[in-house]
A and B are shown apart, each in its own frame.
Chain A
Amino acid sequence: MALLKLTLLCLALLLSSQSEAGALATIGSDLASPVTTPARYILVGGVVATSLAYATRTHRTYRKRETFGDAKPLGDLGFIGDYIGYGALNLGYMGLAYWYGEYYDDADSRLNAELMMRATSYTFTLTMIGKNLISERRPGYPDDDQSFPSGHASASFAFASVVTARHGWGWGSLAHAMAGFITVSRVNDDFHYLHDILAGITIGASYGWGVHYNAQKGRNLWFSLLPVERGGLGFALGTQF
């Protein structure tokens, strides 16, 4: 146990001293960014919207459609959103921004790629935790219990939020239109309820804007693991004010 405590202490100190912010501190600050930055307004609004949609959900007769021709509102075009919604936009943006940053030695572009990676990573992690903890069955596919929250919605809105935050509302409108199409396609094709996609939008947009605000104003929160007396582990949380 003593060796474990010493290892964790060294690891925490090492990570905290890696850069100006420190990897662990950055992760801690990013994870808390939907609460500690102005992204909290998105979080609060999203939680309220998700709760209302959950409270008004209707009983669904489970079904599997042979064709989606009469599905609302996209008919049989929902598969497009399905395909591109698996993080293709996020990965494409990351790759393009990183290549541009390296090729033209543009620090801003490298930062854009990093922020997209950070926002997408936190969004993906939280979404997967939610899916596995809550285990809600999909409306059209009762054998699959990964309905809440929507991964397509969270990833696409993380993408749209970072694009908007870094490039303005011109490109942001286009990114939000794509994210909206992907998100609506999931309801159209019976993969999600309305509250699933609202939760996904909330997670993605909160982290997209949260990491942007953190990058703008610097970390305002850090955390670390510390060994404590009597064989336990401590969790230290600090903030700047």
Chain B
Amino acid sequence: MLATVALEYKQTEFELEQDEELTFDLFKTWQNILHLRTQYGYEDGHSFHLGINLVAEGKIGRQFDQQTPIQAYSIRQKGIHSIQLGWLKNFIVENPDRLSSLSFEIVGNPQAASDKNAALGGADLIARYLFTFLNSWGEIFGDLKMEYRGDKRIRRGDGEEMKIRHLSSIGPSAGYKYRYESFYAFGLLGFQLNTGYQATSPSYNRTTDHGFATQVKLGVGYQRPKWMLELDAIVVTELYNKDAADFANLDNVEFEFETPYNFNLTYSWLF
């Protein structure tokens, strides 16, 4: 059985940028999340895992550029971020230096949004094919990930409830992990294509027809036979193709979600 405790700090910006300066519709989320997860191998090559993610301290708010006369607001977010349940199958192959596995995961948030808590809602489904090629220096690793993100409802600090329509995404990632005795360092690049993002609230309606995301992940770790400690940082940028009808008179507008800061400290041990 494998247990994992992880601390995550995440900041995400949802924004429309014009000429990379003037910002519209900006809201940000700041979250400190505690992840607790256990993985149990019940048969050779098979395992399932159960996790709960708690927002220790979170906030959804809106800042504004000095050029933009937008009212600032914020609302706290606390409690259960999500619960995840998954299953993983390792494929047995003839070459022990080539590992591959298939995993399915469902992630849901049972907490409803309220005036005092901007909980995210909805359920996500994630399917991944993971691969690892080992060599004497380290390993090439990555995955092909398909994700369905269910409908979300976010209560904003200005009293409005924003609904985000479900969407799906698919894409690969690949990276290299360098090992030196018990230490390792790794870098990972990811790309995915998304179906359209649509968000509605009483004051605005944002529609797109498709998008894409890029991800860069860097990390270092220390691994022993029974435990490991890892620190990583992730930067994600999601860009969507704005609907021409919606933004007919706004040239050079970028519809962008950015996660500039996402740090994770993870400790796992076998027992």
Contacts and interface: CB of A to CB of B under 8 A. Distances in A.
Interface stretch (A54-62, A158-166, A218-226): A54-62
A175 to B, nearest CB: 14
Contact of A61 (B165, B170, B193, B244): B244
Interface string B148-180: 100000000000000001111010100000000
Interface string B170-198: 10100000000000000000000111101
Interface in A163-214: 169, 180, 184, 187, 193-194, 197-198
A197 B195 CA distance: 12
Contacts of B167: 56, 58
B127 A71 contact: no
Contact of B195 (A45, A58, A71): A58
A61 B194 CA distance: 17
Contacts of B170: 49, 53, 194, 198
Interface in A149-165: none
Interface in A49-107: 49, 52-53, 55-61, 63, 65, 70-73
Interface stretch (B32-40, B42-50, B205-213, B227-235): B205-213
Nearest to B211: A72
Interface residues of A, number: 27
A61 B210 contact: no
Nearest to A63: B244
Contact of A58 (B193, B209, B244, B245): B209
A52 B209 contact: no
B146 interface: yes
Nearest to A64: B244
Contacts of A58: 165, 167, 195-196, 198, 207-210
A57 B243 CA distance: 14
A60 B168 contact: no
A184 B211 CA distance: 11
12 contacts: A48-B127, A52-B125, A52-B148, A52-B168, A53-B195, A56-B195, A60-B196, A63-B245, A65-B244, A73-B212, A180-B172, A197-B193
